Structure 1
Amino acid sequence: MLFLSRTLKTTAVSPHMPRRAELQGVANDFVHWFLSRNNDAGGYWAVGKLRLLCEQNDFKSLNLKIWPLAMHPSAESTSNWAQSYSQVLSAFLAGHRFPKTWLVFGSLALEFEPMSGMRAIGSSEAGTRFQLTLELVTDVGKKYIASGVGNCLPHNPNLERRSLFSALRQLPTEQMEQPGFRPTANIQPMKIGPRYLHKSRSFSGSMEETAALSESLASAPGLLSIEAIEKHHKGGNLATLEVDGSCLDDFLKYMDSQGWIDAF
């Protein structure tokens, strides 16, 4: 299971001597990330997928041991999830300059209300309430706990829009481990609306042209989502896109290399 956190740059932090109490900050950051849409699994919100997993197995709650770091998945249905979340936690530890030898145990627990149950106050997401609790334990036995709540529905690909880009796919593991890395930081989302025409190809119809454009966009660096592609009355396709502003130059160069020009 690959989790896709939308981050492209690292943030430098000033050198300092870490303290074990900073593990509370690690826990808080992890929970904030987990509740957000950056907690992405295969292009969909991971919380919805976890809710579906629980319903399929008649679970009311889910407990995952995520530390020590799980290097290889096992045969258990939740193993890939635990492995992926342990890797995310490892990145947060590195970002806080927290020595991994100081952390001896980590677990997360998810509890889901039935679909007829209560909603979490303050969350605009559809569905009913869930609660996440993360527990981290240091080598001296001190526990640090963070929790959060939200609302979600079970994963349904027919009702959800799939993300076509996740920056973590582009990051080597060693970059994730650099001090200052934050899985949730530094994305610069921006909306653009180019009208694309191809410089050299001719198409038999608008459907073929739209399909070719969609294929090129799917591999474009910095693309966060495709909101719409519509035929333009002057020719070509009007695309409504969300891209990472820090990768805009790379995105434009890539589309040009694919033969697409912005006619506006």
Structure 2
Amino acid sequence: MPRRKQFNGICSDTLASFVSRYNDLDGYWALGQYATFLMQAGEQHLQIQLQENSRLPARSRFSASATYYRGAVMRLMAANEMPPNWLADACIIFSLTGPTNAFCEIAITSDLGKVYRANRTVEVKPHNPLLEHRRSGNFGPSNQRGE
């Protein structure tokens, strides 16, 4: 029998995938691209809403991430036999905390209003295509295999 407390595991699993080196966009590590975007925009936080029709900052190309992680949450819920209507809201927040550090957090709100969270601090360098090797093959988060 499913329980809403399973959102704790879903938060943890989704965040592990998000901070993974296999999370890439256009063949490059996504977190490095987020860091570069925030530095160029002069901002500290990037919030990726995982709801349908959510908006991302202007000039960002991160809609693939929002789509993938929205689907990941729904797939994990289905695997745990949780009804989709238990999900009221979900977002991932990427915050720069230093020149090479970022704080990543996911928050999932259930239909009963309880918020479940997981967070991690990671080392991240800004994206530099001259110093990075591009992953070949189909682009998008490589952890998307088996969608």
Q: TM-score range by the shorter chain?
A: 0.7 to 0.9
Relative CO higher for 1 or 2, CA cutoff 8 Å, sep ≥ 6?
Answer: 2
Look up the match of 1:56.
Answer: 40
Q: Which amino acid aligns with 1:151?
A: E
Q: Does 1:130 align with 2:113?
A: no
Spell out, residue by residue over 1:239-258, the C-alpha distance to the aligned partner (whole angstroms, 9 max, x if none): xxxxxxxxxxxxxxxxxxxx
1:40 corresponds to: 24
Q: Indicate which of 36, 50, 69 corresponds to 2:52.
A: 69
Secondary structure in 1 aligned to 2:135? coil
- In 1, Cα distance between equivalents of 2:49 and 2:94: 12
C-alpha separation in 1, matches of 2:20 and 2:145: 20
1:109 Cα deviation (Å)? 1.3
Residue by residue, what CA displacement relative to the aligned partner does 1:23-78 show, whole Å, maximum 9, x if unpaired? 11000001111111121211111100101110111111112221x234x8778334
The structure whose Rg is larger is: 1
Cα separation, 1, equivalents of 2:38 and 2:118: 22
Amino-acid identity (%) = 26
- TM-score, structure 1 as length reference: 0.48
| Structure 2: stretches of 5+ with no match in the other structure | none
**1:69–1:87 Cα contact (<8 Å) kept:** no
| Runs of 4+ more than 4 Å apart | 72-75, 166-171
Q: Which has the higher helix share?
A: 2
Which residue of the partner structure matches residue 188 of structure 1? none
Unaligned runs of 5+ in 1: 1-16, 116-127, 177-264
- The answer to whether residue 11 in structure 2 is matched with residue 27 in structure 1 is yes
Does residue 164 in structure 1 map to residue 147 in structure 2? no
* Aligned residue among 85, 96, 113 for 2:80: 96
Q: Is the 8 A contact 2:33 2:127 kept in 1?
A: yes
Q: Decide whether aligned partners of structure 1 residues 93 and 40 sit closer, same or farther in structure 2, where only a CA change above 3 A counts.
A: farther
Q: What's the counterpart of residue 109 of structure 1?
A: 93
- CA distance in 2 between counterparts of 1:92 and 1:33 reads 12
Label 1:83 to 1:20 Cα distance change in 2 as closer, same or farther (>3 A): same
Secondary structure at 1:64's aligned position in 2?
strand
Distance 1:75 1:34, change over 3 A: closer
TM-score scaled by structure 2?
Answer: 0.82
Distance 1:158 1:165 in 2: 19
